[in-house]
Amino acid sequence: MEVALLSVENVSIYYHTPQGETEAVRDLSFSVRRGEFVAVVGPSGCGKTTVLSLIMGLNPPSKGQVRFPQGPCPMGYMLQRDNLLEWRTLERNAQLGLEVRHALNKETKARTVGLLQKYGLGDFLSYLPGQLSGGMRQKGALIRTLALDPELLLLDEPFSALDYQTRLTLADEVFSIIHEEGKTALLVTHDIGEAVSMADRVLVFSDRPATLKKEILLDFPREMTPLVRREQPAFQEYFAAIWKELEK
Amino acid sequence: MMPYSKEHEAYLRSRRIHGQRVHICRILVLFLFLALWELGGRLGWFDVFILSGPSRVLAAIGRLWAEGSLLLHVGVTLYETVLGFLLGTALGILLAVILWWLPFLNEVMDPYLVVLNALPKIALGPVLIVWIGAGMGSIVVMAVLISLVVTTVTVLGGFTASAEEKQLLMRTLGASKGQTFLKVVLPAGVPHMMSALKISVGMSWVGVIVGEYLVSKSGLGYLIVYGGQVFKLDLVMASVVLLCLLAALMYGAVALLEKRFQK
């Protein structure tokens, strides 16, 4: 079997507040292979985001460990809201990560502009975020993440702040971008349809403390986009299966 | 460009007319006020010795000019205010930066900041005179004190409230604290700094005038106190009118600065 890119092993996480101790995650294990698109679904507040910040290294596990068996893995994090800086143009927003890492040069600049152009934002380079639509802003945020050329993308409910129609079309675009750029992705969402339409594999989390309840492999042709997937009979079956699992 | 529809043109016209009306009425209010003030005095509705009048105010300003002391008094007060304003704002922002940077210190200092903010700084006047001496130093320090604390509180509030999620984003990009400050917190705090500037412009005037009431041999505050003591109400009113003009000018300058930053 192929060596995993990311391996979460027997992780438990406790939260400490003056009111007491909360077990957010209990004995969680899963792995992600290179090039895979994995979705995590679970009830709201079940600790999905905690798992992403754990992988990102922003908060340490109380027990267990996170390993990258293939060596250090550059990661990009996409948040629920785009958080574009209102005083920077789209182009300069997309370069923010490069600036922070002192990696801004002619080459990386051209690459970032190339990404913006390739994914339909070429005409808006000098626009401020306030002049862009919600979908464009979130796409800009994705490109800001991609500009650092991460291997693994951590997507934290990246579509949930958008209206329904934008959500569907943007999911389609983001799916294509991630496949085209050959990235590995871990998507956290409470939207079952989103998970089924985008992922290769869905991990169903339990209510807090989060444990892995079930793992569901999705058997769709690789090139089939989310919008087409939604029209397949299998989509409904997977949806129902995950729904039932969450209800339990 | 497409020609506008009739309805839109009518809308634009009504807006323009509305703007003109407001403008005209503003001027009218000022004119009416001055006319009533002048006429009331001349017709004997009130005693001009107590309430003065526009022509007497102008005459008083003219006398100051003839004596050659008008520019001295205006200059002294303006100099003290601008100095107090700049120092107070700069120190206030610096303090806010330090407190943002060191959350522990911020937490420790919080109750002291609250008390200092609530304290009428004017109460420190006599202390300042003893410490610094009866002169311009005390006046400027008074202006600095009054604008400093309010600037710190306003700007610090802006810094800490500014976009926690954006700060999280910076962490996911691997930014250091300094980078987060320079690229997110500081620019996001600009509007708060601008409103702090606007508040502290007014505060510096208060500080300077109070300072001049307590110790001074020149300046508009001195003229007001002096005029009051010798019952030259024309001089008092003239000084107040001059203060109005200067304060409005300085506020206008800050508003202009804000506009430039908003671009």
> Which distant-in-sequence residues (6+ apart) come within 8 Å of B167 by Cβ?
B180, B184, B185
Report which secondary-structure segment, H or E, holds B57.
Answer: helix B54-67
Confirm whether A200 is domain-assigned: yes
Confidence of residue B108 (pLDDT cuts 50, 70, 90): very high
- CA–CA separation, B127 vs B140, rounded Å? 14
Over residues B180-204, the pLDDT tens digits come to 999 999 988 888 899 899 889 888 9
Domain that holds residue A97: 85-149
At residue B2, the pLDDT reads 66
- Regarding whether B217 and B169 lie in a shared domain, the answer is yes
Per-residue pLDDT at A2 exceeds 80: no
Confidence of residue B148 (pLDDT cuts 50, 70, 90): very high
Per-residue pLDDT at A1 exceeds 60: no
Confirm whether A80 is domain-assigned: no
Residues paired with A185 in a beta bridge: A37, A153
Token pair of A127, please? Answer: 């626009």
Confidence of residue B179 (pLDDT cuts 50, 70, 90): very high
- CA–CA separation, A147 vs A141, rounded Å? 10
Number of domain units in chain B: 2
The CATH number for B258's domain is 1.10.3720.10
Per-residue pLDDT at B29 exceeds 90: yes
- Regarding whether A165 and A144 lie in a shared domain, the answer is no
Confirm whether A78 is domain-assigned: no
Percent of chain B residues topping a pLDDT of 70: 98
- CA–CA separation, A120 vs A128, rounded Å? 16
Per-residue pLDDT at B1 exceeds 70: no
How many whole angstroms from its chain centre is CA A47? 15
Over residues B230-243, the pLDDT tens digits come to 988 999 999 999 99
CB contact under 8 A, B183 and A100: yes
Over residues A196-219, the pLDDT tens digits come to 999 999 999 988 888 888 888 888
Confirm whether B93 is domain-assigned: yes
Q: Chain B: residue nearest A97 by CA?
A: B173
* Preferred mutation among B162, B164, B173 to probe A, highest tally of A CBs within 10 A: B173
Asked if ipTM goes beyond 0.85, one says no
Over residues A9-35, the pLDDT tens digits come to 999 998 888 888 888 889 999 999 998
Average pLDDT rounded to a whole number, residues B83-103 = 94
Confirm whether A79 is domain-assigned: no
Confirm whether B53 is domain-assigned: no
- Regarding whether B214 and B168 lie in a shared domain, the answer is yes
Could you check whether the bond before residue A74 is cis, i.e. omega within 30 degrees of 0? Answer: no
The answer to whether residue B127 neighbours chain A at the CB level (below 8 Å) is: no
- Regarding whether B108 and B131 lie in a shared domain, the answer is yes
The answer to whether residue B177 neighbours chain A at the CB level (below 8 Å) is: no
- Regarding whether B28 and B111 lie in a shared domain, the answer is no
At residue B100, the pLDDT reads 93
Over residues B121-145, the pLDDT tens digits come to 888 888 888 999 888 899 999 999 9
- Regarding whether A142 and A238 lie in a shared domain, the answer is no
Domain boundary among A122, A149, A176: A149
At residue B75, the pLDDT reads 93
Confirm whether A64 is domain-assigned: yes
Confirm whether A129 is domain-assigned: yes
- Regarding whether A163 and A129 lie in a shared domain, the answer is no
- Regarding whether A92 and A32 lie in a shared domain, the answer is no
- Regarding whether B184 and B75 lie in a shared domain, the answer is yes
Per-residue pLDDT at B33 exceeds 70: yes
A32 phi and psi, to 5 degrees? -130, 130
Task: Give Cα separations from A88 to A84, A141, B185, B188 (angstroms).
Answer: 8, 13, 14, 11
Per-residue pLDDT at B262 exceeds 80: no
What's the mean per-residue pLDDT of chain B? 90
The DSSP result for B88-107, as a single string, is HHHHHHHHHHHHHH-HHHHH
Asked if residue A10 lies in contact with residue A64, where contact means CB atoms within 8 angstroms, the answer is yes
Hey, how many other C-beta atoms are within 10 angstroms of the C-beta on A118?
Answer: 13
Confirm whether A174 is domain-assigned: yes
- Regarding whether B116 and B26 lie in a shared domain, the answer is no
- Regarding whether A135 and A162 lie in a shared domain, the answer is no
Domain that holds residue B27: 6-46
At residue B89, the pLDDT reads 93
Confidence of residue B24 (pLDDT cuts 50, 70, 90): very high
Confirm whether B52 is domain-assigned: no
Domain boundary among A132, A149, A166: A149
- Regarding whether B126 and B29 lie in a shared domain, the answer is no
Average pLDDT rounded to a whole number, residues A125-130 = 92
CA of B78 vs chain A CAs: smallest distance (Å): 34
Asked if residue A57 lies in contact with residue A68, where contact means CB atoms within 8 angstroms, the answer is no
- CA–CA separation, B194 vs A227, rounded Å? 48
- Regarding whether A103 and A64 lie in a shared domain, the answer is no
At residue B109, the pLDDT reads 93
- Regarding whether B233 and B253 lie in a shared domain, the answer is yes
Number of domain units in chain A: 2
B5 phi and psi, to 5 degrees? -75, 165
The CATH number for A40's domain is 3.40.50.300
- Regarding whether B221 and B165 lie in a shared domain, the answer is yes
**Chain B residues touching A79 at Cβ < 8 A:** 165, 168-169, 172
Asked if residue B128 lies in contact with residue B141, where contact means CB atoms within 8 angstroms, the answer is yes
- Regarding whether B169 and B85 lie in a shared domain, the answer is yes
Average pLDDT rounded to a whole number, residues B1-26 = 89
State the pTM of this model. 0.81
Q: Chain B: residue nearest A77 by CA?
A: B172
Asked if residue A36 lies in contact with residue A184, where contact means CB atoms within 8 angstroms, the answer is yes
What's the mean per-residue pLDDT of chain A? 89
Over residues A128-170, the pLDDT tens digits come to 999 998 889 988 998 999 899 899 999 998 888 888 888 888 8
Token pair of A97, please? Answer: 């990560």
Confirm whether B27 is domain-assigned: yes
- How close are the terminal C-alpha atoms of chain A, in Å? 32
The DSSP result for chain A, as a single string, is -PPPSEEEEEEEEEEEETTEEEEEEEEEEEEE-TT-EEEEE--TTSSHHHHHHHHHTSS--SEEEEE-TTS---EEEE-SS----TTS-HHHHHTHHHHHTT--SHHHHHHHHHHHHHTT-GGGTT--GGGS-HHHHHHHHHHHHHTT--SEEEEESTTTTS-HHHHHHHHHHHHHHHHHTT-EEEEEES-HHHHHHH-SEEEEE-SSSB-EEEEEE----TT--HHHHTTSHHHHHHHHHHHHHHH-
Domain boundary among A149, A180, A203: A149
Pairing of strands A63-67, A75-78: unpaired
> Which distant-in-sequence residues (6+ apart) come within 8 Å of A83 by Cβ?
A141, B163, B165, B166, B169
Q: Chain A: residue nearest B164 by CA?
A: A83
The answer to whether residue A146 neighbours chain B at the CB level (below 8 Å) is: no
Confirm whether A62 is domain-assigned: yes
CA of A105 vs chain B CAs: smallest distance (Å): 17
Per-residue pLDDT at A189 exceeds 60: yes
- Regarding whether A242 and A157 lie in a shared domain, the answer is yes
- Regarding whether A94 and A66 lie in a shared domain, the answer is no
Confirm whether B69 is domain-assigned: yes
The answer to whether residue B171 neighbours chain A at the CB level (below 8 Å) is: yes
Confirm whether B77 is domain-assigned: yes
The answer to whether residue B62 neighbours chain A at the CB level (below 8 Å) is: no
A100: nearest CB among B175, B187, B188: B175
- Regarding whether B71 and B17 lie in a shared domain, the answer is no
- Regarding whether B41 and B69 lie in a shared domain, the answer is no
Over residues A29-79, the pLDDT tens digits come to 999 999 899 999 988 777 788 888 899 888 888 999 999 988 888 899 988
Per-residue pLDDT at A233 exceeds 70: yes
At residue A93, the pLDDT reads 93
